[in-house]
Amino acid sequence: SLIVYGNKSKKDLLKVPATILNRFGAVSQETAERMAKGVKSLSKATFGLAVTGIAGPAGGTPEKPVGTVFISLAHGRQVKTQRHSFYGNRKQIKFMTSQYALDILRKHLMENK
């Protein structure tokens, strides 16, 4: 697993293009999808699971308030992304995000036996 909080790490480690980050922002479907592809490629794994979001307490905007999270799963050439809006404090948002991300992977594994 990797924790790539800053844009520099997203670009350097996961090969998220600067154009994606500049156009859509770090918290976006496009960035989450590139992160999932990047971690899958970097680790040479079958799956790549990536999360980007705003856990708070600050950092939210009207378009992307605190609790906005994008979860992407890359498998083969496909990438599926879900946008979620979680509520609570930072710890609660991070916990819910982790549980949803793992559940997305679990469901994908069950559907693709």
Residue range 33-83, pLDDT digits in tens: 999 999 999 999 999 999 999 999 999 999 999 999 999 999 999 999 999
Find, among 9, 1, 98, the residue nearest to 40 by Cα: 1
| pTM of the complete model | 0.95
d(CA 8, CA 13) in angstroms, rounded, equals 8
Q: What local confidence, expressed as pLDDT, does residue 1 receive?
A: 76
| More reliable by pLDDT, 112 or 9 | 9
Query: Considering the chain, what is the average pLDDT of its residues?
Result: 96
Share of the chain above pLDDT 70, in %: 100
Is residue 113 predicted with pLDDT exceeding 80?
Answer: no
Phi-psi region of 80 (alpha: psi -120 to 50; beta: other; left: phi over 0): beta
Q: Could you tell me the residue ranges of all domains in the chain?
A: 7-111
- 8 A C-beta contact, residue 32 and residue 69: no
Task: Name the architecture of domain 7-111.
Answer: Alpha-Beta Complex (3.90)
